[in-house]
Amino acid sequence: MKKLSIWLAAILMAVGLGLVVPGPASATTSYCGLTWGSLMKTDGALSTAPVTNIRTGQHYCFDRLVVDLGSGPAPGYSVRYVGQVIEDGSGKVVPTRGGARLQVVVKAPAYDGNGQPTYTPADKAELSNVSGYQTFRQVVWAGSFEGQTSLGLGVRARLPFRVFTLDGTASGHRLVVDVAHFW
């Protein structure tokens, strides 16, 4: 009995002095299981569904850009990291804040069949207020020309992203670009 109490005292003393080595530490930050990558993503052909709105949102693992479209077939897209965002038609550089820039090309116009605008940004340099976002730094207008619409998305660094379309209500589809907060 005396040996048992001595062992028990020794174990309690070792724990109290921090001599017992703890197990492996678990990760405190989750990468959210994202496996998106940062290479160009492209899909589909031109659509007649016009761009009607551009908005952003924040999520736990990523920031989101949504391009709302009117009724018609789902749009195609091309999204890739670029050195500079280039304006459709003119070829001018569109200043874009951030450590990296995504050129988002929606294969759908921002005008109707009569050439009337379906989306006119109030401020081409700030399509959405992204102050306080973890990844996004700026969303800029880069024009709508020959049936496609271009945007610039300034992000803090070259991070993984994904692109997909969602069926909307009877009013149309949505193009979604999610950019992860971390690798």
Reading the block at residue 91, the tokens are 């070829």
Least confidently predicted of 48-52, 59-63, 164-168? 164-168
Count of other CB atoms within 10 angstroms of residue 77? 24
pLDDT at residue 171 in the model: 72
Mean pLDDT over 156-177 rounds to 90
pLDDT at residue 29 in the model: 47
Number of helices (H), then strands (E), in the chain: 1, 11
- Considering only residues 62 and 11, tell me which one the structure prediction assigns the higher pLDDT: 62
Residue-averaged pLDDT of the chain: 87
- The helix or strand, by DSSP H or E, that contains position 132, with its residue range, turns out to be none
Give pLDDT tens digits for 78-110: 999 999 999 988 999 999 999 999 999 999 999
- End-to-end alpha carbon distance in the chain: 56
Ordered by where they begin, the domains of the chain are 41-180 (2.60.40.3500)
* pLDDT(21) > 60: no
The pTM assigned to this predicted structure is 0.82
